[in-house]
Amino acid sequence: MEIFVILSKIDPGAFANSKEFKAAAEEVHRAIEQECPTLKWRESYALLGDYDVVDVVEASSKTELLRAVEIIRTVGKASTQSFSAIPWDEHLKNM
């Protein structure tokens, strides 16, 4: 499994209120569980800055990651950036 970081910026005006936002977040979670069964969510954080959310996930392939990202984009009404991530200790061992 490879580790990835997904940064998401929710489209302004995408949701009329917090109930719509929470419902969309739940729908994103359900869709990813169903369509990306081997993807493992490690952590998620709300951000104060250029992006609204950061998710750290483990995916068995880049194809699986791309499917999850497409769900976030379409259902979550967000733009995203995703990156491969290497644990720092592992990075240092390989130097």
For position 35, what pLDDT does the model report? 95
Task: Say which residue the tokens 């993807």 belong to.
Answer: 39
The pLDDT confidence band at residue 83, using thresholds 50, 70 and 90, is very high
Cβ-contact 68, 8 below 8 angstroms: no
Number of domains in the chain: 1
Q: What percent of the chain has pLDDT over 90?
A: 98
Residue 24 sits in a domain of what CATH number? 3.30.70.1060
Separation between Cα atoms, residue 54 and residue 85, nearest integer Å: 13
Domain hosting 58: range is 2-93
pLDDT tens readout for residues 17-58: 999 999 999 999 999 999 999 999 999 999 999 999 999 999
Angle (nearest 5°) at CA 53 between 69 and 37 = 40
Mean pLDDT for all residues in the chain: 95
Model's pTM, two decimal places? Answer: 0.91
CB within 8 Å of 44: residues ≥ 6 apart:
53, 54, 55, 56
The pLDDT confidence band at residue 88, using thresholds 50, 70 and 90, is very high
For position 85, what pLDDT does the model report? 96
